[in-house]
A and B are shown apart, each in its own frame.
Chain A
Amino acid sequence: MQEIKDMVCPFCGCLCDDVTLGIENGSIVSTDNCCTIGNAKFLGKNRLKNPIQKVDGKWIDITYDEAVDAAVDILLDADRPLLFGWSGTHGEAQCVGVHMNEILGGVIDSTTSVCHGPSILAIQEVGHPGCTLGQVKNRADLVIYWGCNPIEAHPRHMSRYTTYADGYFLDNAFRNRKVIVVDVRETETAKVADEFIQIKSGGDYAVLSSLRAILRGKADMIPASVAGVSKTQLMQVAEMCKTCSFGALFFGVGLTMAKGKYKNVRNAIELVDDLNRHTKFTLTPMRGHWNVYGANEVFSWMTGYPFAVDFCRGVAFYNPGETTAIDILARKECDACMIIASDPAAHFPRACVEQIRDIPMIAIDPFQSLTTPLADLQIPVAVTGIDAEGTAYRMDGIPIKVKKVMDSGYPSDTEILTRIYQKMLEVKGL
């Protein structure tokens, strides 16, 4: 068995880059250092086999050339195409997607709009005091997880970057570092915390505001209990935050998608801002897909906006709530879509999934998903990190090259998108 070290895991926003893969007879047979979810992806079996197209309600096998032609027809025939997904593919492919969307005058959006979109809206209002994950590992003596459950969603986050990760200024992290978990239920992560704050569902904004009030010397205003959290505990936590040397707040969709949405995140950012007047404090969104942050980065440098970019006016236009995928589908506005590197059928509201089903849809994905059966055209591709390479951005903005281990014969996302784009230019005479 051949061993390959320092591989990058293409599953979540941690982008762990210390994975060892065991290869035998051209396939991955074992992983080391990988969490169970990453392991399942590396060893995944449900690959789509070859391009297929639905004709008169039946699937027929087609070639990649025919698939490219069919995709071009579907997209060019549409008045308001939606190019959605992007979070599970590499940056180079996302760049081609943006160029393609410019020609189409469509909307390009990533899964951000259903996870940390509210975080971005908050950042656009008040900014983002953040840092790289190694800064937390080396310095943080206080870590807060708010509305997230890394043990189950980002399984190695705590061992690589926080709770169990020794660093330059903390040579025994587990003893020297305090962990606070804020959640509506006692999660696996909450069980290992030094302090667990259980808030009533929808109470995040009030709890954040209370902490800020205490920090600003207005503790008198706080009632005995806020959203199920006692004033005593709030006072204690505010003191822990104020007196640490370096605090790091991580938050997940439990905060962004709870009642209050982007206002919650804004309040969290402003709490961190307040804390910086006492000590050093940073904040980091726990990004889900391995390259969802990369999609935000690519869209920003190419169009000026991190997600939900609408080119129908010729210029890049952005108005989340109007140009986000959910809204466009719910209004039955788009008349064709290309879904790449994501599985909206598993996550979107039913009305949106029905609209995806009812319009011509191209699915570009290596694996079967709940979305692929709804497609009119399926184009199987390589898995970045296994049989394709490319750039990804970790949840803290660090770009990492995700490597290729083997050649499976599948085209990469970049290859297939470039062929579609080139053909589009040709058809349009550009």
Chain B
Amino acid sequence: MKTLLVKNAYVIDPIQNISGEIMDIAVRDGKIVDDVKNPDDVIDAAGMLTLPGGIDSHTHICGTKVNFGRYMSPEDMRAGRTSRKGDMHATSGYSVPTTYGNSYRYSRMGYTTLLEGAMAPMEARHTHEEFRYTPLQDCLANTLFDGNWFALEAIENGDIKRLAGILAWYLSAAKGFGVKLTNPGGTEAWGFGEDVSCIHKPIPHFGITPREIIVKMIEANEMLNLPHSVHLHCNNLGKPGNYLCTLDTYNAIPDLNDKRQSLYSTHVQFHSYGGSSWNDFCSKAEDIAHSVNEKPQIVIDTGQVMFGKTTTMTADGPMEFNLYRLYHNKWSNHDVEMETGSGIIPVLYRKKNLVNAIMWSIGLELGLLVDDPWQCILATDNPNGAPFVKYPEVIALLMSKEYRDKEFETLHKSTGKRVALPAIERERTWDDIAVMTRAAQARALGLIDYGKGFLTEGAEADIAIYPISVDTTDPAREYERIINGFATTEYTIKRGDIVCRRGTCTLEGNHSTYWVKPHVPAAYDMSTDSEFIDGFNKYYSMRIANYPVGEEYIGRNVCMESEASL
């Protein structure tokens, strides 16, 4: 019966409509309770901004491609090394840190829950192995289905219930969380070196279009009653003029769930490009934001680009090859049979590069032009747009027009002609930031029912206490204080334990992995479907018996069960 009392906290908790109240937060056995008597530990949080623990709903921290990012980049490893100290293990890496590096740095910023954005189910065991060594955050893994042959066949046959059964089997087998589509159809086409162009033309070898994949997957996802919606990386990523494809996609999205969105559209910065080539490249963030504002069924994350070195990594294999042909540095590609693919290249975003400057502006425009902060999540698609350690700077840019203007002055001189950013006066509020960094994530991921994202009775005691006095800080002027304040918490509390104090992590941690297990009727249970089993054993290079990830890989796990409506 371990107890903790956080006293005099300045709390913003958007899920509970708490905006700047001075409160005490009582914790017993890792949960927030109404009150504790004679607490074992007391924290005086007077004058400190206190938020629910941060949630990153789209990051790349663990798994095959992330690890290959480390493997192929000793130069990145040298860029961020710390030695063993107290409970903290040695770390390496800047844009792709080691698992401990990710965990400590996120914890330092008050993050307690992380969603790995892309896990090939065949390689899921690897992601879970790395989760074990990410001790201070709860972890979830979106599971890739963009090129899944069984799923594509079911869509081609118009059998949506079978599609749902297939999703259910893979999610449970991979111990995955959400359904992820990366360049749907495009990663399959990349199997023979091709790609797709937007959503209307049939993909090679299957008589279906990316549009059908997206819409049918959304319908099947909702049939399974999963906590999260389909999580989509749209087609045509990074291509000038792709905003039309993005709008086309958004126009096809049905509104099927009254608790949350039907579509989580990720790293939208990379999908909001105007122009017909890099020569007339420009921002179309206004058009995209306008579309999102009209569609409550869509939530986006911004995929903010920040300047400096980073490593890009995605399941979108053809896109990475195209990007490699622009950058000429080094290129790794890894196609996963019957499922998906991936690519990795290092990049350097430069202020003096016009395209990069426009990309930076687009992310901020999205962050400011989407009216409802609940529909606009702050993320860099770590590490694609920038390493997550840049989040405090992104927050400051969204809160301060003065800071944006000052930064804008340092960019390529032609940027102003291609973007709307200098004309945008809006400055995000403290409440907006609390929504965009944790509350919106908790709702979009369906984690509120599991105690995530809020600070009242029944919640998991994941708490971030920042050394920022809201009453005496003007974010529009004092943006340096915002950056420093959000960079290092005074305390990060994970399930009631203080895991990080002023940047020093003080515990080995004991996190959980959240995964879904949808129950489907026997007719759609692929584990007993002879056609599925035979096809599996014929075409995979691994036996079906050896494919599912056992619970021994997960340690403390939270199995999110659902009953499918099939």
Contacts and interface: CB of A to CB of B under 8 A. Distances in A.
A161 B541 contact: yes
B335 A401 contact: no
B507 interface: no
B158 interface: no
Interface string B188-204: 00111100000000000
A340 interface: no
B332 A127 contact: yes
A304 B540 CA distance: 31
B64 interface: yes
A391 interface: yes
Interface residues of A, number: 60
Contact of B330 (A99, A126, A132, A391): A126
Contacts of A306: 71
Interface residues of B, number: 59
A283 to B, nearest CB: 10
B317 to A, nearest CB: 9
A273 interface: yes
Interface string B60-90: 0010100110111110010001111000011
A139 B98 contact: no
Contacts of B67: 297, 300-301
A241 interface: no
Nearest to B335: A131
B92 A124 contact: no
B337 A135 contact: yes
Interface string A223-242: 00000000000000000000
Contacts of A130: 332-335
Given A301-B67, A315-B81, A398-B122, A17 B542 contact: yes
Contacts of B99: 301-302
Contacts of A137: 337, 539, 541
B532 interface: no
B292 to A, nearest CB: 35
20 contacts: A8-B546, A17-B546, A102-B84, A130-B332, A131-B333, A131-B341, A134-B337, A134-B338, A301-B99, A302-B89, A302-B99, A302-B100, A302-B133, A304-B77, A304-B92, A314-B84, A315-B83, A316-B77, A318-B77, A401-B125
B126 A399 contact: yes
B336 interface: yes
A167 interface: yes
Given A102-B89, A280-B191, A301-B130, A124 B72 contact: yes
Interface string A87-112: 00001000100010011000000000
Given A91-B129, A127-B344, A300-B70, A102 B90 contact: yes
Interface of B: 62, 64, 67-68, 70-74, 77, 81-84, 89-93, 97-101, 122-123, 125-126, 129-130, 133, 149, 190-193, 321, 324, 330-338, 341, 344-345, 539-543, 545-546, 550, 553
Interface string A286-307: 0000000000110011111110
A59 interface: no
Q: Majority SS of interface residues in chain B?
A: mixed
Contact of A132 (B74, B133, B336, B553): B336
A138 B337 contact: yes
Contact of B133 (A301, A391, A397): A301
Pick the most buried of A124, A161, A301: most chain B CB atoms within 10 A of its CB.
Answer: A301
B192 A17 contact: no
Given A132-B122, A315-B90, A303 B546 contact: no
Interface string A13-24: 000011000000
B132 to A, nearest CB: 8
A125 B100 CA distance: 25
Given A245-B192, A399-B126, A315 B74 contact: no
Contacts of A134: 337-338, 539-542
| Among A5, A103, A129, A300: residue with most chain B CB under 10 A | A300
A276 B321 contact: yes
A368 to B, nearest CB: 31
